[in-house]
Amino acid sequence: MITITHYMAVSAILFSIGTIGVLTRRNAIVIFMCVELMLNAVNLTFIALSSHLGNMDGQVFVFFIMTVAAAEAAVGLALMIAFFRNGDSVDVEDFSLLKW
């Protein structure tokens, strides 16, 4: 029998993998993809709980999370293009203009 706990465990593992990626990788685009992975782990939790509790609200929230993720992708990738044009790199260690 597949219970809600199974889905939550998969979601927790995916979220942790995403966290490791954000903290260890240095290519800004890969960090961005790891953030998408974490967002998707949260989406899985929302849909699993929505299905478990028989309530539609969680799935509407996932809808809004996808909207925000799409907006974030557009603005984030435009920022990366602007960064690359300035310094020929998307390595996060080169983003140190504000370092004192």
Partner 1 sequence: MEILQLLFFYLVAFVTIVSGLCVVLCKNPINSAISLVMTFFCLAIFYVTLHAPFMAAIQIMVYAGAIMVLIIFVMMLLNQGAEVVARCRHAVVGAVVAAGIMMLQVLVTLKHGDVSGVVGPVNSAMIEEVGHTELIGQALFTDFLFPFEIASILLLVAIVGAVVLAKREV
* Residues binding partner 1 (CB under 8 A): 1-2, 4-10, 12-21, 23-27, 29-30, 32-34, 36-37, 40, 43-44, 47-57, 59-60, 62-64, 66-75, 77-82, 84, 89-91
Query: Looking at the chain, how many residues does it have?
Result: 100
Strands (DSSP E) found in the chain: none
Supply the minimum distance, in Å, between the C-beta of residue 98 and partner 1.
17
Instruction: For residue 9, give Cα distances in angstroms to 27, 40, 44, 57.
Output: 28, 14, 10, 22
Query: Which CB atom, from 21 or from 95, has the smaller least distance to partner 1?
Result: 21
Query: Which CB atom, from 25 or from 95, has the smaller least distance to partner 1?
Result: 25
The residue whose two tokens read 């799409």 is: 70
Query: Which CB atom, from 70 or from 98, has the smaller least distance to partner 1?
Result: 70
d(CA 6, CA 78): 38
